[in-house]
């Protein structure tokens, strides 16, 4: 049995794990990265990258369709799928492994398991076991896995998850989607746009329940217009699939049923913490790993266990996992050197503001900070202002019949923006200005002097400030 020692051991080479390794090596520490599947994680192969390459041509086609005089040839689905395959490097992680080794850090393929708060056993693909020990810290970055709701017949039907849908080589002709969140909406539009004849979305409540209500409403309207059968408040009672991979029937609580040749479950995620040896450090597998703002596991004696990315449940988003990784890596360097580890950059503050996110649907749904309901729940004295994007010259220039809406939530006591939501085509690029406003605490009176250019959609900021009373 081989034995190696490193300053920091990272388990999981998704975007979060890779970035911890990069930061600690930059700070002069040694690192090992343990990965069971592919370096690059879920994001690179079965989530962000393939889903966005499937959606991009559809967004472009929608843009073109709104400009009179423009016509796009039919989307070549085979070419789109080939580009998707290229984007996921044909499921080959040689490039990412090379990047990790070039840091330089040691890349070890295998299943990592804690054996104590400073040691990890790695089961290599050839069955050999390797023991690693950490001088300073172990960072868990094992991500999340899809929840399969406990619905009779669902697990037995072997439903698709994000893996199969983002990697599909053939677009299912008739598809049922269980869920009404980010994956359900993006993939419903992707599959319908690439030729699925029937797509049925079964959402337990409204679409995008954590967003401002108008986001789900506008998205549902566009999906219905595109021929997607969106059923809100749907209660799935039972799933039947007599033949593996064959026709599937979903029975709803109202006694109706839907038939299709494939079913996708997009009903949220759970922590990927099973088989990780959490018992060895007194933690219980299954729940999100509770961390403090330095990303250190709070309930683990010894204080040298950290968790970044999806696994800690703070924000299930790549950019937030990478941000946590930068904070965590720099904290580890400071703590290893025994220098001050309390600087502003050495804590996760973004989580408390509310993570920025963009759904690459048509219309895009972009948000940062608190929703009005979220701000109310925190007891803030607030005022919210909304504006219809159709009223802007910048929107008119983009094309006809652009549907969209923006909203800011203002903390009245501090006169600062604590939340912003933009729904509309191309609004993704409006989001970062909102993120800067929310995190910097700039007052509305200062924002008034940030003059948006004419004729851009950014003028929505001006209109919302005017609607507020400036
Ligand atoms: C369909 C879909 C689309 C998405 N689109 C976006 C998007 O557009 N933008 C965005 O910001 N987010 C998006 N997300 C979310 C994003 O994919 C995740 O937030 C991100 O992948 C989390 O990164 P991570 O490093 O924490 O975990 P992961 O990417 O899940 O990586 C964890 C890694 O750990 C490995 N691992 C697990 N256990 C072990 C073990 N015991 N030993 C060794 N290795 C192990 C896994 O094999 C995996 O490679 C999307 C998610 C889905 C499902
Ligand atoms: N563009 C992006 O940034 C992007 C895209 C996709 C996914 N993601 C990330 O991935 C995470 C996971 O996405 P997701 O869509 O799986 O989860 P989600 O939490 O966004 O949505 C899950 C949805 O499923 C519904 N649901 C749960 N059980 C159900 C049931 N039995 N019947 C019907 N509906 C049910 C919930 O009400 C909810 O609307 C997201 O939280 C997001 O952070 C991000």
pLDDT for 3 equals 62
Q: Whose alpha carbon is nearest atom 21 of ligand 1?
A: 43
Q: What CA–CA distance (Å, rounded) separates 24 from 31?
A: 7
Mean pLDDT of 337-362: 96
Indicate if the pLDDT at residue 177 is higher than 80. Answer: yes
Average pLDDT, rounded, for the chain: 97
pLDDT, tens only, 24-63: 999 999 999 999 999 999 999 999 999 999 999 999 999 9
**Fold adopted by 2-40+93-145+270-346:** FAD/NAD(P)-binding domain (3.50.50)
Indicate if the pLDDT at residue 122 is higher than 80. Answer: yes
pLDDT for 233 equals 98
pLDDT, tens only, 309-330: 999 999 999 999 999 999 999 9
pLDDT, tens only, 283-293: 999 889 999 99
Name residues contacting ligand 2 (CB within 6 A): 149, 178-184, 186, 202-205, 209, 236, 266-269, 316-317, 357-360
Indicate if the pLDDT at residue 359 is higher than 70. Answer: yes
Could you give the 3-state DSSP secondary structure of residue 42? helix
Mean pLDDT of 389-411: 96
Indicate if the pLDDT at residue 261 is higher than 90. Answer: yes
**Ligand 1 centre from 270 Cα, in Å?**
11
What DSSP string describes 139-170? EE---EEE-----TTTGGG--B-HHHHHT-SS
Indicate if the pLDDT at residue 1 is higher than 60. Answer: no
Indicate if the pLDDT at residue 201 is higher than 60. Answer: yes
* Annotated binding residues for FAD: 52, 112, 142-144, 310
Quickly state the pLDDT bin for 300 (edges 50, 70, 90): confident
| Cβ count near 180 (within 10 Å) | 28
- Max CA distance (Å), the chain: 71
Substitution site in 9, 10, 13, 14 for ligand 1 pocket (most atoms within 8 Å of beta carbon) = 14
CATH classification of 155-267, choosing from 3.40.50.300, 3.30.70.260, 3.20.20.10, 3.50.50.60?
A: 3.50.50.60
- Phi and psi at 334, nearest 5°, equal -60, -45
pTM comes to 0.97
Quickly state the pLDDT bin for 299 (edges 50, 70, 90): confident
Indicate if the pLDDT at residue 2 is higher than 70. Answer: no
pLDDT for 71 equals 87
Superfamily of domain 353-468: FAD/NAD-linked reductase, C-terminal dimerisation domain (3.30.390.30)
Residue ranges of the domains in the chain? 2-40+93-145+270-346, 155-267, 353-468
Q: Give which of 16, 40, 20 is closest to 30, Cα–Cα.
A: 20
Q: Whose alpha carbon is nearest atom 3 of ligand 1?
A: 47
Domains 2-40+93-145+270-346 and 155-267 fall in the same CATH topology: yes
Higher pLDDT, 169 or 74: 169
């Amino acid at each position: 049995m081989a034995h190696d020692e490193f300053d920091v051991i990272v388990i999981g080479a998704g975007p979060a794990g890779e970035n911890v390794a990069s930061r600690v090596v930059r700070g002069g520490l040694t690192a090992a990265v343990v990965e069971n599947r592919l370096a690059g994680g879920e994001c690179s192969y079965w989530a962000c990258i393939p889903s966005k390459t499937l959606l991009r041509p559809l967004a472009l086609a929608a843009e073109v369709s709104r400009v009179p005089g423009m016509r796009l040839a039919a989307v070549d689905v085979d070419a789109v799928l080939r580009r998707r395959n290229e984007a996921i490097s044909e499921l080959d992680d040689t490039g990412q492994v090379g990047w990790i080794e070039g840091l330089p850090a040691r890349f070890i393929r295998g299943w990592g398991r804690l054996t104590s708060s400073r040691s990890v056993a790695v089961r290599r693909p050839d069955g050999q076991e390797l023991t690693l020990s950490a001088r300073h810290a172990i960072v868990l970055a094992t991500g999340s896995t899809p929840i399969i709701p406990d619905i009779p017949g669902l697990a037995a039907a072997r439903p698709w998850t994000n893996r199969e849908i983002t990697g599909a080589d053939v677009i299912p002709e008739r598809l049922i989607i269980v869920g009404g969140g980010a994956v359900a909406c993006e993939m419903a539009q992707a599959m319908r746009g690439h030729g699925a004849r029937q797509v049925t979305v079964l959402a337990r409540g409204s679409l995008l329940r954590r967003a401002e209500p108008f986001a789900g409403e506008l998205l549902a309207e566009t999906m219905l217009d595109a021929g997607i059968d969106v059923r809100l408040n749907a209660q799935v009672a039972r799933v039947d699939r007599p033949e593996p991979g064959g026709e599937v029937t979903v029975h709803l609580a109202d006694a109706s049923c839907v038939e299709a040749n494939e079913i996708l479950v997009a009903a949220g995620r759970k922590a990927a913490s099973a088989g990780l040896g959490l018992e060895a450090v007194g933690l219980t597998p299954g729940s999100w790993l509770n961390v403090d703002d330095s990303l250190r596991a709070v309930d683990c004696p010894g204080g040298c266990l950290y968790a970044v990315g999806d696994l800690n449940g703070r924000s299930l988003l790549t950019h937030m996992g990478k941000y946590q990784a930068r904070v965590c890596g720099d904290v580890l360097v400071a703590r290893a050197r025994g220098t001050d580890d309390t600087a502003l950059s050495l804590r996760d503050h973004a989580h408390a503001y509310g993570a920025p996110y963009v759904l690459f649907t048509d219309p895009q749904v972009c948000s940062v900070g608190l929703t009005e309901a979220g701000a109310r729940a925190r007891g803030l004295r607030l005022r919210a202002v909304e504006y219809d994007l159709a009223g802007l010259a910048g929107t008119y220039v983009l094309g006809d019949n652009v549907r969209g809406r923006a909203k800011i939530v203002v903390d009245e006591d501090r006169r600062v923006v604590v939340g912003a939501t933009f729904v509309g085509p191309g609004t993704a690029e409006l989001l970062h200005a909102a993120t800067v406003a929310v995190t910097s605490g700039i007052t509305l009176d200062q924002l008034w002097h940030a003059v948006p250019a004419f004729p851009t959609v950014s003028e929505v900021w001006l209109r919302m400030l005017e609607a507020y009373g400036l």
